[in-house]
Amino acid sequence: MNASAARGRLRVEARGLVQGVGFRPHVHRLAEALALSGWVRNTGAGVEIEVEGARAALEQFLLRLAGELPPGARLESLEPTWLEPAGHARFEILPSAAGAPRAGIRPDVATCAECLRELFDPRDRRFRHPFVNCTSCGPRLSIVTALPYDRPNTTMARFEMCARCRREYEDPRDRRFHAQPNACPDCGPRLAWQRGAERAEGNEALGRAVELIRAGGIAAVKGLGGFHLFADARDESAVRRLRERKAREEKPFAAMFPDLEALRAHASVAPLEARLLASPEAPIVLLRRSRHSALAPSVAPGNPCLGALLPYTPLHHLLLRALNMPVVATSGNVSDEPLCVENAEALERLGGIADGFLLHDRPIARAVDDSIARIALGRELILRRARGYAPWPIALPEPGPAVLAAGGHLKSTVALAVEGEAIISQHLGDLESPAAREGFERAARDYGGLYGAAQAVLACDAHPDYASTRWTLSRPERRVEVQHHYAHVLACMVENRLAPPVLGVAWDGAGYGSDGTVWGGEFLLISEHEFERSAHLRTFPLPGGESASREGWRAALGLLYERFGDGLFELHAELLKPLLQDADARVLRRMLDRGLNCPRTSSVGRLFDAVAALAGLRRRSSFEGQAAQALEFALDPATVENGYTLALRPGAEFGSRSAWVLDWAPLLDALLEDLARGAAAGAVSARFHDALARAAAETAERLGAERIALSGGCFQNAALLERAVAALEGLGRKAYTHQRVPPNDGGLALGQLVAARRVLKRTD
Ligand SMILES: [Zn+2]
Ligand SMILES: [Zn+2]
Ligand SMILES: [Zn+2]
């Protein structure tokens, strides 16, 4: 690591009870103790902090800020963004920034320490009350039905507060002053158990759920933003049954642990990971599974990672304390459909999956999934922005007109630009099913309606077949179509507060290109108003089109055909055998020769699939990104020598209008040689990752780019991300990566907002 990389600047947005409680002096003391410069100030939304100094000290700052709160302070959210040093000379407390907070919706917050203490205190009147909450914690986004956020505008409207709860609610000195979901065992929601004809209520209901899970059964549990399916995570047959019934072959399940201590028996947990797990946002955190873990193999088949989370509602705390063991906690749905939120809906849709149902009578206003995060580059990276994070705003570069962005197709989100802020919805899932599309339309109405922004402009992807694009076509507002990878790069720029010119490296599975072909290995030069496709991966045919995204062997076949032409089928028959297996070679050959249903793509995601198939790791995927993951997991870090190479060649040689094309042919040749020699998949994977990272850096250098933003689904891969950043820095470039917004299509809506505003600025 070079000297500049060892220093950094950390911007932190802290929200919650952080004003008038000695929070700024606490920040000041901590900064001085760690020899950090910067500033702190109150804002309409909370406290904003910038600290600058040694990276290790900044990390300590982040950990201690949350861990050593002054008495009376309570955090609801702590979002860090790493930036480059700005040269702050000392630390100061700045005057408050003007502006009242926007009357918006706030995210659901994990149960706070004080409520947790009450939950397990036999003398407390809320002892074992599964709905305990206060002003600093509990449900918000999942219960609000309209603004302003007042009790009648929540799903708690049907519960009348008892006299004691009402007194707390009206007392400005009380922790529950204006806590909208405030309730107690006398006046609040109740649990109910349903299993066939069997019924129970309250604690008895909870006890039945515990019994069922202990006996190897599957329980559907109504949580905060939807139903979970719970099963004993150590019981292979229970977990396997859950997979079968849910029609979920191999996609990993998340597991919930009673506490951090229990989790440490199954995975290594670094301090930053522990911070995330125990944070008010309480996301699922991807961890390295330890070899001694006694979790059932079916929790995450063939996967060295473990998605872990801690209890975040009082109900989870009660359940997990009684169970005292890890449980699979997966979303209550069939396959990839949206979460079930209503009791009747769950009983029907999950009837074939769950053996019993733990229900309650507090309605859920909208589905809110668990968020997912991981640590990469020594910092937090959000992969799915949902519970705990959405819809906290993200600062836009400047104020502008209201715009609503419809996002993409997979990992859908919508976003709203109001003045200088972007409000990104919770993750809405893939828009593959009617139920998912319904959820999307609701969210689009929701975010426009709840904020009353009356947006006159809609932004969407340029793909004509995305359900989100089609929705905008049905609307009267002015529309702005935004190229997929351009949106990816803009999203990354917003997060890192970057102004053009910037070179965007946008690598993903597929996005609609400006020329109508499938893009996914793009180098986009971002200027003040637009972008230029300066370079891209050499294209290759995808026999079978869409189906190639789950069948990596098709990408491999297309790659080989592009390299060897028609001779492939005679000269390299033995190479094709394991790839084609029972597929009809003659049909495929005809398809390729005539270019029938063989769209061309420059996708790096498909290149990953092809290499995973060639290396014998994964011929087909049962979920998006599985082949690329298999390649990432196989990587043998001990392999350093003989990285493959991609050649940067003039675009004209390939009939491309871009200045440069990144040719994978030398990489493929070397890889085939390696495979012929019997090289291990781990070495092949390391060389492949290394080649891509170096190619990104060398292309940036050739294009004369100083600042490079890395975006797109491929950069969820920590090995690729870290190698690309190292390669870029090695060539004296500055690399910027996602942090709070996912690099995958969950970030598209944010980028679309910025693109639309750019268009409006130019044309108005
Ligand atoms: Zn609380
Ligand atoms: Zn009450
Ligand atoms: Zn994408």
Q: Of the bound ligands, which one is closest to the alpha carbon of residue 184? A: 2
Q: How many CB atoms lie within 10 A of CB 721?
A: 22
Q: Are 465 and 510 in contact (CB under 8 A)?
A: no
Element (H, E) at 708: strand 707-711
DSSP class of residue 715 equals G
User: Would the pLDDT of 528 be above 80?
Assistant: yes
As a whole number of angstroms, the distance between CA 447 and CA 437 comes to 15
The CATH code for residues 537-685 is 3.30.420.40
Task: Using the mean position of ligand 2's atoms as its centre, give its distance from the Cα of residue 165 in Å.
Answer: 4
Q: How many angstroms separate the first and last alpha carbons of the chain? A: 47
Domain 396-484+742-764 identical in fold to domain 537-685: yes
Residues 6+ apart with CB under 8 A from 122: none
Q: Of the bound ligands, which one is closest to the alpha carbon of residue 187? A: 2
Residue 2: pLDDT band (50, 70, 90) is very low
Q: Of the bound ligands, which one is closest to the alpha carbon of residue 179? A: 1
Q: Are 145 and 153 in contact (CB under 8 A)?
A: yes
Task: Using the mean position of ligand 2's atoms as its centre, give its distance from the Cα of residue 98 in Å.
Answer: 38
Q: Are 255 and 307 in contact (CB under 8 A)?
A: yes
Fold category of 396-484+742-764 in CATH: Nucleotidyltransferase; domain 5 (3.30.420)
Task: Using the mean position of ligand 1's atoms as its centre, give its distance from the Cα of residue 367 in Å.
Answer: 22
Architecture of domain 7-93: 2-Layer Sandwich (3.30)
Task: Using the mean position of ligand 2's atoms as its centre, give its distance from the Cα of residue 117 in Å.
Answer: 18
Res 101: pLDDT? 63
Q: Of the bound ligands, which one is closest to the alpha carbon of residue 113? A: 1
Res 404: pLDDT? 96
Residue with tokens 């139903």: 227
- Note if the bond before 391 is cis, omega within 30 degrees: yes
pLDDT in tens, 5-60: 589 999 999 999 999 899 999 999 999 999 999 999 999 889 999 999 999 999 99
Mean pLDDT estimate for the chain:
94
In this structure, what are the phi and psi dihedrals at residue 285, rounded to the nearest 5 degrees? -115, 130
Task: Using the mean position of ligand 1's atoms as its centre, give its distance from the Cα of residue 176 in Å.
Answer: 8
Task: Using the mean position of ligand 1's atoms as its centre, give its distance from the Cα of residue 115 in Å.
Answer: 4
Q: Of the bound ligands, which one is closest to the alpha carbon of residue 314? A: 1
Q: Of the bound ligands, which one is closest to the alpha carbon of residue 485? A: 3
Q: pTM to 2 decimals? A: 0.96
Q: Of the bound ligands, which one is closest to the alpha carbon of residue 119? A: 1
Q: Of the bound ligands, which one is closest to the alpha carbon of residue 175? A: 1
Task: Using the mean position of ligand 1's atoms as its centre, give its distance from the Cα of residue 66 in Å.
Answer: 16
pLDDT in tens, 393-440: 999 999 999 999 999 999 999 999 999 999 999 999 999 999 999 999
Task: Using the mean position of ligand 1's atoms as its centre, give its distance from the Cα of residue 418 in Å.
Answer: 30
Q: Of the bound ligands, which one is closest to the alpha carbon of residue 168? A: 2
Bridge partners of 420, per DSSP, are none
pLDDT in tens, 660-717: 999 999 999 999 999 999 999 999 999 999 999 999 999 999 999 999 999 999 999 9
Res 3: pLDDT? 43
Residue 447: pLDDT band (50, 70, 90) is confident
Q: Of the bound ligands, which one is closest to the alpha carbon of residue 188? A: 2
The b-or-e profile of 556-580 (16+ CB within 10 A means b, else e) is bbbbbbbbeeeebbeeeeebbeebb
Q: Are 598 and 558 in contact (CB under 8 A)?
A: yes
Res 5: pLDDT? 52
Residue with tokens 């969820």: 716
As a whole number of angstroms, the distance between CA 755 and CA 751 comes to 6
Res 582: pLDDT? 83
Bridge partners of 392, per DSSP, are none
Task: Using the mean position of ligand 1's atoms as its centre, give its distance from the Cα of residue 589 in Å.
Answer: 64
Task: Using the mean position of ligand 3's atoms as its centre, give its distance from the Cα of residue 383 in Å.
Answer: 13
Listed by start position, the domains of the chain span: 7-93, 191-360, 396-484+742-764, 537-685
User: Would the pLDDT of 1 be above 70?
Assistant: no
User: Would the pLDDT of 102 be above 80?
Assistant: no
DSSP class of residue 101 equals P
In this structure, what are the phi and psi dihedrals at residue 65, rounded to the nearest 5 degrees? -55, -45
CATH number 1.10.1530.10 given to 191-360: no
Task: Using the mean position of ligand 3's atoms as its centre, give its distance from the Cα of residue 577 in Å.
Answer: 32
Mean pLDDT value across residues 540-566: 94
Strands (E) in 547-630, as ranges, are 600-601
Q: Of the bound ligands, which one is closest to the alpha carbon of residue 509? A: 3
Res 103: pLDDT? 66
Which residue type does 629 have? Q
Task: Using the mean position of ligand 3's atoms as its centre, give its distance from the Cα of residue 291 in Å.
Answer: 34
Query: Which range (244-258, 444-458, 480-494) has the least confidence?
Result: 444-458
Rg (CA), the chain: 26
Q: Of the bound ligands, which one is closest to the alpha carbon of residue 74? A: 1
Task: Using the mean position of ligand 3's atoms as its centre, give its distance from the Cα of residue 764 in Å.
Answer: 29
Task: Using the mean position of ligand 3's atoms as its centre, give its distance from the Cα of residue 506 in Å.
Answer: 8
Query: What is residue 376's three-state secondary structure?
Result: strand
Q: Of the bound ligands, which one is closest to the alpha carbon of residue 117? A: 1
Res 4: pLDDT? 45
Task: Using the mean position of ligand 2's atoms as its centre, give its distance from the Cα of residue 160 in Å.
Answer: 8
Q: Of the bound ligands, which one is closest to the alpha carbon of residue 164? A: 2
Task: Using the mean position of ligand 1's atoms as its centre, give its distance from the Cα of residue 18 in Å.
Answer: 15
Q: How many CB atoms lie within 10 A of CB 699?
A: 21
Residue 100: pLDDT band (50, 70, 90) is low
Q: Of the bound ligands, which one is closest to the alpha carbon of residue 176? A: 1
